[in-house]
Amino acid sequence: MKADFSRQLHHASSEAPVDRELLLKAYLDSDAEVGKATMMLEEELDKRKKRKEERARCRHDYGPLVFEVLRLLAQRGALPRLIQRAKKSE
């Protein structure tokens, strides 16, 4: 759209009457498109960041952590109570 604006500006400067409203509209349209493109780019960058974080979580092995938490709960005697509570909430 910026190219259209430049073309219109060049064309308008070669002619005597200048349609300022047309030029202003072309400029505002191109400015709005730049705003939309910037917003879409930011959204895509956010998506990439979230996908990267998700891939990192998928590669991590949570098994040892889960095992250690269960072991600690069992040592403290809290595991049977938590199992009963989970069965009741089903």
pTM (two decimals): 0.43
Give the per-residue pLDDT at 60: 75
Contact predicate 23/5, CB 8 Å: yes
Confidence label for 52 from pLDDT (cuts 50, 70 and 90): very high
Q: Which residue has the tokens 């095992």?
A: 67
Q: In the chain, where are the structural domains located? A: 1-59, 61-90
**For 8-41, how does the pLDDT look when each residue is reduced to its tens digit (9 = 90+)?**
666 555 555 678 888 888 888 898 999 999 999 9
Residue 1 has pLDDT above 60, yes or no: no
Average pLDDT value for residue range 50-72: 89
